[in-house]
A and B are shown apart, each in its own frame.
Chain A
Amino acid sequence: MTDMPDLRVAGVQAPRKDAREKVTGAARYTVDVDLPGMLHAKLLRSPVAHARLTRIDARAARDLPGVHAVLTRDDLGGLQPTYGYFIKDQPIVAMDKLRYVGDPIAAVAAQDEVTAVRALELITFEYEELDPVPDVASALRVGAVELFEDAPMGIVPAYGRGASAELRPRPNVCYRFAYETGEDDAFDHCDHVFEDDFVFGRQQHFHLEPFVTVAREENGQIEIWTSSQNPFPLRKELSRVFQHPENRIRVHVPYVGAGYGAKNNCKTEPIAILLARLSGRPVRFCMTNEENFLTQTQHAAKIRIKTGVMADGTFVARAGEILLDSGAYADASPLVAEKAGYRLHSLYKWRHVKTVCDCVMTNTSPAGPFRGFGGTQASWASESQIDMIARRLNIDPYDLRLKNLLALGDPYVPGESGMDSDIGEGLRLVADRIGYHGRIRTPGRGMGLSIGFKDSGGVNKPASARIKISTTGAIYLQCGSIEIGQGITTALSAITAEILNAPAERVHYPDVDTDHTPFDQGTNASSGIVVMGQAVARAANEVKARVLEFAAGQLDCDVSELTLDDWNIRRGNESHPLNLMIMRTYGGTGFEFTGEGYHKAEMDHEAPLETRCVAWEYGWGAAEVEVDEQTGLIKVLQLVVSGDAGRAINPAVCRGQDEGSAVMGLGGALFETMLYDGVTLANGNALTYRVPLATDLPENFVSILQEQGHGPGPFGSKGVGEGCMLPVASAIANAVEDAIGVRVTEMPLTPERVLAAIDARNST
């Protein structure tokens, strides 16, 4: 551990900045926004998975009293009506084809939701059904029907050393990412080469606040309140879709009732805006929880890994193929593919790595960003296989990991940044805590370990912040990080207060409003501390320098003689209240000091993703399970997870991130997945899609917050919030094999799959 600076505000236990509003019910979310004359929108969705839309007639709906606007494909004139990240393939409402059960066909804005639903029933449409493509295997079958006959508009970004990508490399694959380093004859020199297949399930984010937008258009200005994680990229995309200047689109983001990745880019926004334009009235479009399932999901995946090792357990080479189920539209699939492909070989020393990740289109709900962002899929396969190899070589999985792990400072791959945690130290912590070493064997019980990781800070991601201080010392921290539950307003306010030597209560964090808030690329990729945190620290240092320079001028002395003490200037034993000094100079109307801060990792063509990873986010996990061989039921007796915050700006907030992500991982490990019966989602609601409850917590559930001190963020901090999700499923699968000698390679680890594995063992 490195020496840490003494801190006064940051790094100490303090209440969350949003706690009072949230415990009193005063916190306001987009669902609470209520404008005068506001209409309510509802959506007609496709009943079929794959069809050509031949006719649509909405006249009767338009004539229904109380209906103010109806939106169909006939109302998209003058727009660029499709959106997406690298590939712009998703229409606001269906144009030529219907591509999944739930694909939007038409929307209505009416005086209330009941009238809107009645109007939808009056819309008639006809379609010619096409062969549905329910899953990855059928999508890749020779001669399979294509979801897109023509290539949608798309781009491949620049990649650096070893990385490459391709649009539409084969039918029904919208994007392929590949990464390679070292010589592939490395496999020829291995004592053993193991090849294993894994299947990853499909979680739904299940954010409790649904997708929701309130929109209005007045005097040529589009104004929205929306539950979004990335208002600035959203504004840019809306500007392109609506062919409307960015500075005439204003995005407000109140508190967000969570997202876990789902609330990036266009969701409810285009339809709400278009209905507001068509009706001339403000429109609220709030989806139901069921509609969330039809809007955004995690990527299911099939993963094959080939790993070459020496007899003594030395790792040599790793190659992998990942097939991501992207659903009906590309959405963020290309970005997820980058990260899944880039992370599959994991944090070990290899002489050769080669990975290909394909984004496969199917007639199911669109898959997009999900906490872990490809790292969850990669960690599941990689860390399961590490244990399988250990058993084949008769080496303890703990020892096999330690033997091959990258050391602190080792670059992840050539051209990449170095490891910024002692990974072995984290493994030792969780193993010791669970009692891994020297455990007494009990039939039916076992222990497993895993190390998940992802990069933190995004790729080539800029952030800017502004800090203003008024005459009376009121501090405004203006930056675009969205408070989505992760505690970013608490953390960034603490960093500001620490640098300005002020109490945290003096810092106000205004709601994000794209007309006034400096640019940020989005609240995602665990970037709040390592990217925005650095911009905020710079802004704080700049405004502090301005205040001190002003005071030095007033006191006719050198800046070095002065310090800022709350809102006073200290010079030796003298204390000068700043409010008085300011009014002496600027008069009784006062003044504001302003500081700006900016941060972005430098472009680097030697780095595979064009910038070196800002920080590495690790999640160490250890599980103890008891498996009932009669029922196949896994009982998790102990779950120990650990993350490294570098330096925790608020330890309780970090703990909450680690525990919350671990429990989300536990759900995905044991029972959470979207079940498709062919192309029909069978469990797309809160009654049938089971998420973890308090009663699902393992009896001994522990999170250990490490502060190893190597983060690039302020005071040595780095991002948390995703890491502890990553090791859970593989730690449990590894524990199951330790307990009863069977390997389950498909998530979630349901009793049926455990029983099938037991049957397979017994029949051999």
Chain B
Amino acid sequence: MTEQIELFVNDEEHFITVDTSEMLVDVLRDRLGLKGAKIGCDRGVCGACTVLVNGDPTASCSTFAWRVDGARIVTIEGLAGEEGALDPVQQAFFEAGALQCGYCTPGMILLAKSLLARNPHPDRAEITDWMGANICRCTGYKMIIDAVEIAAATGEGQ
């Protein structure tokens, strides 16, 4: 069974015919060529596939594409500004070196974006709690938490 849906991905409008069994991550990666969202556990646990759906961090591996018909979706490719200027959260991860293999990084950055949109000045405990939603097997998290603190301090989300 198929369905016609409309997605606003990184401010671009797409009309796509999807199979009702198709996952959002596959539409993004295979139909739209947005490879930044990664499949890790494929069970909505690890968060490597995190994208923002109407501002909410969402496991795109476990979200049917038809469920987000009409939604505004932000992927990692949608963050950098003109001429490749990094978004403040990207910049903070870049400066803090808050990444290793990089597989979780797009999801972590989008998760942090969603925190700062809700709470522009989280304390360290709030950051830790929020970032505890996604798995990073490489960094030990501390430098990721540092990066979110830097992003908050530079006024992201205001």
Contact = CB atoms under 8 A, between A and B. Distances in A.
Do A and B assemble together? yes
Interface of A: 15-16, 18-29, 31-32, 34, 205-210, 255-258, 260, 288-289, 484-487, 652-653, 655-657, 659-664, 685-687, 691-697, 701, 703
Main secondary structure of the interface of B (DSSP, over half): loop
A472 B52 CA distance: 43
B141 A697 contact: yes
B135 interface: yes
A736 B118 CA distance: 40
Interface in B29-79: 29-30, 34-43, 45-46, 48, 75-77, 79
A310 to B, nearest CB: 40
A258 B40 CA distance: 11
A700 B92 CA distance: 23
B101 interface: yes
Given A15-B95, A257-B103, A25 B75 contact: yes
A28 B35 contact: yes
A657 B128 CA distance: 20
Contacts of B80: 24
A24 B128 contact: no
Contacts of B99: 16, 18-19, 22-23, 485
B99 to A, nearest CB: 5
Given A258-B137, A656-B97, A27 B142 contact: no
Interface residues of B, number: 53
13 contacts: A23-B76, A27-B102, A205-B137, A208-B46, A209-B38, A209-B101, A258-B100, A652-B96, A653-B97, A660-B138, A692-B141, A693-B135, A697-B141
Contact of B38 (A15, A20, A29, A256): A29
B109 interface: yes
Contacts of A208: 38, 40-41, 46, 48, 101, 103-104, 135, 137
A25 B76 contact: yes
A484 B140 contact: no
Given A686-B41, A694-B128, A656 B103 contact: no
A414 to B, nearest CB: 37
Contacts of A693: 132-133, 135, 141
B143 interface: yes
B43 A15 contact: no
B94 interface: yes
Contacts of B131: 694
B102 A257 contact: yes
Contact of A18 (B34, B102, B137, B138): B102
A701 to B, nearest CB: 6
B143 A695 contact: no
Contacts of B39: 31
Contacts of A696: 132
Given A694-B141, A694-B145, A697-B141, A25 B106 contact: yes
Contact of A695 (B41, B103, B109, B129): B129
A486 B100 CA distance: 6
Given A16-B97, A694-B131, A695-B132, A664 B109 contact: no
A26 B37 CA distance: 10
A29 B95 CA distance: 22
Contacts of B34: 25
B154 to A, nearest CB: 15
Nearest to B47: A208
Contacts of A692: 141
Given A15-B95, A23-B109, A257-B102, A687 B138 contact: no
Contacts of A486: 100
B140 A663 contact: yes
B93 A23 contact: yes
B137 A206 contact: yes
Given A208-B48, A255-B101, A656 B38 contact: no
Contacts of A207: 101, 137
Nearest to B79: A24
A25 B89 CA distance: 13
Contacts of B20: none
A701 B141 CA distance: 11
B139 interface: yes
Interface string B80-93: 10001010001101
Given A685-B41, A694-B144, A701-B142, A656 B137 contact: no
Interface in B18-36: 29-30, 34-36
Given A29-B103, A664-B137, A289 B41 contact: yes
B24 to A, nearest CB: 16
Contacts of B35: 25, 28, 32
Given A23-B94, A655-B143, A260 B137 contact: yes
Given A656-B140, A660-B138, A686 B77 contact: no
B140 A659 contact: yes
Nearest to A486: B100
A25 B77 contact: yes
Contact of B143 (A205, A209, A659, A662): A659
The 7 closest A-B CB pairs, nearest first, are A25-B36, A485-B101, A22-B102, A485-B100, A25-B76, A686-B41, A659-B140
Contacts of A29: 38, 103
B100 A660 contact: yes
A660 B43 contact: no
Contacts of B132: 693-696
Contacts of B77: 24-25
Contacts of B37: 25
Nearest to B80: A24
Given A24-B79, A258-B101, A652-B97, 7 more contacts: A16-B97, A22-B102, A28-B35, A289-B43, A652-B143, A686-B135, A693-B132
A15 B97 contact: yes
B38 A31 contact: yes
A209 B140 contact: no
Contacts of A659: 139-143
A18 B98 CA distance: 11
Nearest to B90: A23
A657 B30 CA distance: 33
Given A15-B95, A18-B102, A19-B99, A686 B140 contact: no
Contact of B142 (A209, A260, A484, A697): A697
A685 B43 contact: yes
Nearest to A667: B137
